Amino acid sequence: MSDNVNHSQHYPRPPFPKQPQTPPGLASEMKPIPDHGETSYKGSGRLLSKKALITGGDSGIGRAVAIAFAREGADVAINYLPEEESDAETVIELIRAEGGKAIPIPGDIRDEAFCGALVEKAVQELGGLDILVNNAGRQQYCESIEDLTTDAFDATFKTNVYAPFWITKAALRHLQANAVIINTSSVQAFKPSAILLDYAQTKACLVAFTKALAKQLGPKGIRVNAVAPGPYWTVLQSSGGQPEEKVQQFGADAPLGRPGQPVEIAPLYVTLASDACSYTSGQVWCSDGGTGTL
């Protein structure tokens, strides 16, 4: 778990400097750089000998989950886009430096064939698969439906909806009883912003996907849950996920007065992945800084 510092007082609060990036962006270029748990997350052996595949594991919430899983004793494979290689290298080096097993698998999950290859490579390199985290996401704001192109709409759905379907389907032949699937949804599924029309739809899709799949796989002893983040300080926001003026004030309207840091949501994923939550399935757990969306 993370340390006992009073994070509400010590974590950065808006306003933040202007920092537009070309998507998908790099966490290393954010100001301030997010806390993914590089030094603050302390493990306690809750995932010993588990083998996990995490999409979008180079930065943001996926990176925090990868670090947390590794510190809890899991072997980890992360997927990311080739353009995010420098961020991914940092995560891989960090995990390996502490003696953990970390497998980098770059590639675009909007391609069905790659999704299948991703799972097979992860299983081969890890020696099995116990935990699948469908976390990678695409978020690009658009002020009006009239300006939202079919290509952009398609790219968001391919990343956020099709890819989890393809990856999960490919993973099922490798998942045994007590395996876990965790999907990253969003508060946008329940309280959508006008400028995130396509993104909000995809995150609502993941809620239904989670609940229906949990019913399908329950008899096999496989649990399926989702996490719904609120405003978290990740490169998804500064690389086109929000208008620049909103990035500068990001998280200001949350009751805690700031955005969450990725390390602060990683414990939810750890808990859902652990055997301690063996009766929890079909659930959506929210972390939104006190807004109480769920």
Catalytic sites, residue numbers: 199
Sheet strands side by side (includes 131-134):
102-106, 75-80, 51-55, 131-134, 180-184, 223-229, 284-287
> Which of 249-280 are b and which e, b meaning 16 or more Cβ less than 10 Å from the residue's Cβ?
ebbeebebebbbbbbbbbbbbbbbbbeeeeeb
Placement of tokens 């920092």 in the chain: 19
Query: Residue 15 in contact with residue 249, Cβ under 8 Å?
Result: yes
Cα distance between residue 293 and residue 190, in whole Å = 7
Beta strand pairing call for 131-134 and 102-106? unpaired
Angle between helices 60-71 and 266-273 (to 10 degrees): 50
Spatial distance between the Cα atoms of 162 and 58, rounded to a whole number of angstroms: 20
3-state SS class at 285: strand
Beta pairing partners, 77:
53, 103
Residues 287/51/96/80 CA torsion (nearest 10 deg): -60
- Report whether 158 contacts 110 (CB < 8 A): yes
CB atoms within 10 A of CB 33: 13
